A and B are shown apart, each in its own frame.
Chain A
C-alpha cells in the first residue's frame, strides 16, 4: 500500500509539473505583459526595457519557467510584480478564505447529496424520488453565475434578508460573516450536490438489485439493516470516485462565485492576476489548487482500499 501511494504521489508531481508549465506557456502567449500594466501611459520604450530587465522579463520564456521552478525548491514562490509582496504571503491570506468556503460547500454537497440520493433510490418512482430527481436535474444544468445573480436579486435586493456581497473576517463579526457566506456557499454547492444526488441514486439502485442483497433479505434482515450494512458500503465506490472529481469542480465554482460576491479569495486573486499579467501569482494559485486536488484524490484512492477489499489486494500487488 505505501509503495502504491509513493507511486501515486510521484505521478501526481509529474502532472503538476506539466500543468504549471502549460499555464506558464498560456500566460506567455496572451499578448501584453506586467510591464505594460505597471507603466500604463507613462511607458516609453527605454523605461519599459529597463523595467523588463530588472524583472528578468527580457529572458527567454523557458529560462524564466525554470527560474521559477528553481525558486520553488528553495521554498520561494516568487514575488508579485503587481502587489510587490512575496506570493507566499499573498496566498496564505486568500487561501484561508477560499478554503473555508470550499470546505463548507463540499461538506454540504456530500452529506445532503448522499442523503437525498439514498432517499430517492429507496423510494424509486415515488413522490420523493420524482421531486428530488427533478431538482437534481435542474441543479446540474444551471450555471453558477446565473444562479448567483438570481440569488442576489431574490434574497438581497428583493427580500433584503442577506447582504448583497462582500466579505468580513469571522474574527471581526462572526454573524455578518455567516450571513455573507450563505449565498456563496450554496451557489458553489448546488452543482456538486446535484451530481452527488444522481450518482448516489444510481449507485444505490444498482446495488439493490445485486444477488447479495437478495441474500441479505433472505437472511431475514430488516430493510434498514440491509441498506446500511450491505447496500451503502457497496455503493460507496462510485460515490467516492465522484467525490474525487467534485474537488476540481468546486474550485471551478469558487473562482466564479468569489467574483460574483466580491469575496477576496484565491479565485478572485487568480482572475485579477491574469488580467494584471502577474505571472508569479497565477502560477502560485494554480500550484496550490493542483496540490489540493492531488491530495484529495490520494485520500479518495486510499479510502477505496478501506471500502473494498478487492481493490486493496490489487494495490498490494501493484
Chain B
C-alpha cells in the first residue's frame, strides 16, 4: 500500500461571484491507495462534491478559482498547463459517478453508444471492439439482455439500472480511481444496497481505488476502509473507519454520530442534534469553523488561530484541540418518559383502494392501463400514537396520505376518523375536518409561498378558519406558535427563502399546528434535511406529541428514522401493506421477506456491527405499479418465492398478537434462518 493513486494537497476552491465569494473548499488534503475504499462524509454544502470535482477541474471556472494540487502519476491535474493531460485522465483513469443517474445520461443517445464513446476515446479501440467491450461491461453490471439493451435509450431503464450503466461507463477504461459522489442517494434502499455491494465487489476484484462521497454514515461504516470527515470546506478528522466510529476525536464527528437514528438503538433514545446551522462559507472560516455550534468548546478555541492536524492515533488525525472530548454522549439516552397509549381508535382505514388511469398521448389522451396505487389497505391508528409507514418510492405512501386529507378520493373503502367516514363528507365538512387533520410536507422549500412573510404563513390558518378574534389575539397566538416550534418570533417578517431548510420545516410545522389539530400526517418531513437538523425536527415532533397529545401518521422511506419515532410500523410494498406490528416486534422479529430485506439493506453507522452483519440482498428492481406482478407482488424479487406465490395474493394474517404478515411461509423462513444462525 505504499503507492498512492491520487495525492491531493491543500486544495482550495472559491467561487468568486459578482457580489460575494463562496469559500467552498479550504485546504483539503487526502490520498488514496490502490484497492482502497475511502469515504468522505459531511453535511450538505460542506464542500464534499466541490473538492472532488475540483481535482478534475469539473467545476465551472469562472467563477471557480482552484489552488493547491492533485497529483496523479507525477502530474498535477489542477495545473491549467496540464489541461490536455487532464482530459486524457478524466473518464479514463479517474472516473466519476454522480448522484442523479436518470439525468446523468444523455436522453437522445443510445446507452451503449454513450459507454463506448468513452472506450473509443481513451482506449483507442475501433467501433466493433468498443461495442463488444461495452456489452461485456453491461453484463458485468448485471444488465439483462445486454446485447439488445445496447440499443436502448436511458428512459427505458429504471433509476437503479441507469446507475449501473453509469458504473459500467465509469469502469469502462479500467480506471485507477473511481469517485462515487452520492451515487446511491437517489435510489431506494434495497437498490442502494445492491449497487454498493456490486461496486465493492468490482473494485475489490480489479484493485481499483474507490472514493465514496456521502452524507450517510451507515454507508461509510459498511464499506469504507478510511474515512474523511468534512465540515465547512475542511477535513476536520480522518482515520481508519473503525477508529472514527469507536474513537471519534473531533467534536463535530461526535455530534454527527449522536444525531443519527440507528437501526440498532436498543432504547427509545432521544437524538442529540447539533444546534444551529452550518456556516454559509461566504467568509473564510477563521479558527475552528465548528466553534459556533460546538458544545465542548474550550476557552482556547476562541483565541487559538492555528488548528494544525494533530495525530490522535495510528493514522488518525483531527483538527480539534480539545484532548478530553466527551464521547460518552454518543449512547446517552435522555429517555423520554415512556408514552402511554390508550386503546382508543382515532383513525381507521378499511379496505382502501385507489386506482389511477394511465394516460398516454399528446392530444387525444387515451387510457392505456391503470395503476393500482392502494390495494386493500387496512390500518388502525390509536389516539396519541405514531404510526410509521415505510416503503420504497412509488409504493403508494403519498397516495394514502392524500386520501386521508381528502385531497384525492379513493376508488373504494372507508377512512373513519372518530367514527365519521371522511370519504363521504361534502366539501364544507371536509374543510372543517381539515382543522383537525393537518399535513406536514416533505419539501419545506416548495410548500411555502415565497412572497409571504413567515409570520403570515403561520397565521394563515388562523384567518382561514377564523380561530382568533382581534389583532391582539392573532399576534399572540402567532408568537405562541413560533415559540412552540423553537423559532425566534423576531424572524416573523422574513420571507421563506431567507431561512434554512430546518427553519423552513419548523415554519411548516407551526402552520400545521395553528388550527390546533389532533392528527398530523407527516409525509417525509425530514428527508430533505441534513442529519443534524433532521434530529432537531424529530425531537421537536416528539416533544410536541407529548405536550399537545397529537397523533401522527409518519411516512418515510428511511427505516431508521421511522423506527426511531414510531410506536407502530406498517411496511408497504406496491400498494399493499405487507407487514405491520409494534416497532419493537417488527424490527426485532421481521417476518416478511421484504421487511427483512429492507432492514438488512439499511446500513448501520457502526463498522463492527456492519462487518458481522449478513446482508439479505434482494435481486431485481421495484416493478412499475402499472404492471403489477400477479399473486404476491414481491415474488419476482423474493428469494423464497415458490410457484404458489405467483398464484394467489397472500392474506395479512396475525402471527403473534398485534403482528400481521402477508406471507404464508414467513414463519418457516424465519425458523430456518434462526436455526442456521444458531448452528454457526
Contact = CB atoms under 8 A, between A and B. Distances in A.
Q: Which of B96, B153, B362, B364 has the most CB of A within 10 A?
A: B362
A310 B155 contact: yes
Interface string B146-159: 00000001010000
A317 B91 contact: no
Interface string A198-232: 00000000000011101111111110000001100
Contact of B360 (A215, A229, A317): A317
Contacts of A230: 106, 109
B122 A220 contact: yes
Interface string A115-137: 00000000000000000000000
A11 B117 contact: no
Given A315-B362, A318-B360, A318-B364, A215 B104 contact: yes
A216 B96 CA distance: 11
B98 A215 contact: yes
A311 to B, nearest CB: 9
B58 A218 contact: yes
Contacts of A27: none
A212 B106 contact: yes
A314 interface: yes
Given A218-B58, A219-B90, A234-B108, A314 B362 contact: yes
B8 interface: no
Interface residues of A, number: 27
Interface in A258-314: 307-310, 313-314
B494 interface: no
Contact of A317 (B98, B166, B368): B368
Interface string A75-99: 0000000000000000000000000
B108 A308 contact: yes
B90 A308 contact: no
Q: Which of B100, B106, B118, B362 has the most CB of A within 10 A?
A: B106
Interface string B83-108: 00001111110011010100111111
Contact of A218 (B96, B107, B108, B153): B96
Contacts of A315: 362
A215 B363 CA distance: 34
Contacts of B114: 215
A317 B361 contact: yes
Contacts of A219: 90-91, 117-118, 121, 169
A21 B118 CA distance: 58
Contacts of B91: 218-221
B104 A214 contact: yes
A318 B88 contact: no
Contacts of A317: 360-361, 366, 368
Contact of B92 (A211, A220, A310): A220
B56 interface: yes
Contact of B106 (A7, A215, A220, A318): A215
B104 A211 contact: yes
A222 B105 CA distance: 17
B514 to A, nearest CB: 39
Given A11-B363, A317-B361, A318-B364, A220 B87 contact: yes
Contacts of B362: 314-315, 318
A211 B98 contact: yes
Contacts of B366: 317-318
Nearest to A216: B106
Contact of A314 (B58, B95, B360): B360
Contact of B153 (A229, A234, A309): A309
B58 A217 contact: yes
Nearest to B110: A309
Q: Which of B98, B104, B153, B169 has the most CB of A within 10 A?
A: B104
A220 B255 CA distance: 40
Contact of A234 (B56, B107, B361): B107
A186 to B, nearest CB: 34
B348 to A, nearest CB: 40
A217 B61 CA distance: 14
Given A218-B90, A218-B96, A233 B117 contact: no
A308 B89 CA distance: 31
Given A309-B155, A314-B361, A318-B364, A220 B104 contact: no
Contacts of B360: 314, 317-318
A90 B390 CA distance: 74
Contacts of A310: 107, 153, 155
A216 B104 CA distance: 9
A211 B100 contact: yes
A222 to B, nearest CB: 7
A213 to B, nearest CB: 8
A73 to B, nearest CB: 27
Contact of B117 (A221, A308, A313): A221
Nearest to A309: B153
B58 A212 contact: no
A229 to B, nearest CB: 7
B109 A229 contact: yes
A221 B122 CA distance: 9
B159 to A, nearest CB: 13
Contact of A220 (B98, B121, B166): B121
B45 to A, nearest CB: 19
B88 A220 contact: yes
Nearest to B93: A220
A221 B119 CA distance: 11
Contacts of B361: 314, 317-318
A219 B88 CA distance: 9
B108 to A, nearest CB: 5
A207 B204 CA distance: 36
A214 B153 contact: no
Interface string B242-273: 00000000000000000000000000000000
Contacts of A318: 360-364, 366
A215 B155 CA distance: 16
B171 to A, nearest CB: 13
Q: Which of A212, A222, A308, A318 has the most CB of B within 10 A?
A: A212
A233 B87 CA distance: 23
A309 B89 CA distance: 32
A218 B56 CA distance: 8
A210 B103 contact: yes
A59 B633 CA distance: 71
Contacts of B166: 215
A309 B659 CA distance: 48
A220 B363 contact: no
A313 B117 CA distance: 25
A315 B363 CA distance: 10
Nearest to B170: A218
Contacts of A210: 103
A137 B105 CA distance: 34
Contacts of B103: 210-212
Contacts of A222: 87
Interface of B: 56, 58, 87-92, 95-96, 98, 100, 103-109, 114, 117-118, 121-122, 153, 155, 166, 169, 360-364, 366, 368
23 contacts: A210-B103, A214-B104, A215-B166, A215-B169, A218-B91, A219-B118, A219-B169, A220-B87, A220-B89, A220-B121, A221-B91, A221-B117, A221-B121, A229-B109, A230-B109, A234-B108, A308-B107, A309-B108, A310-B155, A313-B155, A318-B360, A318-B361, A318-B364
Given A218-B98, A219-B118, A229-B117, 12 more contacts: A210-B103, A211-B103, A212-B105, A212-B107, A215-B104, A220-B91, A220-B121, A308-B107, A309-B153, A314-B361, A318-B361, A318-B363
Interface of A: 7, 11, 210-212, 214-222, 229-230, 233-234, 307-310, 313-315, 317-318
Q: Which 10 A-B pairs have the closest CB atoms?
A: A219-B91, A318-B361, A220-B91, A220-B90, A211-B103, A309-B153, A212-B106, A317-B360, A219-B118, A211-B104
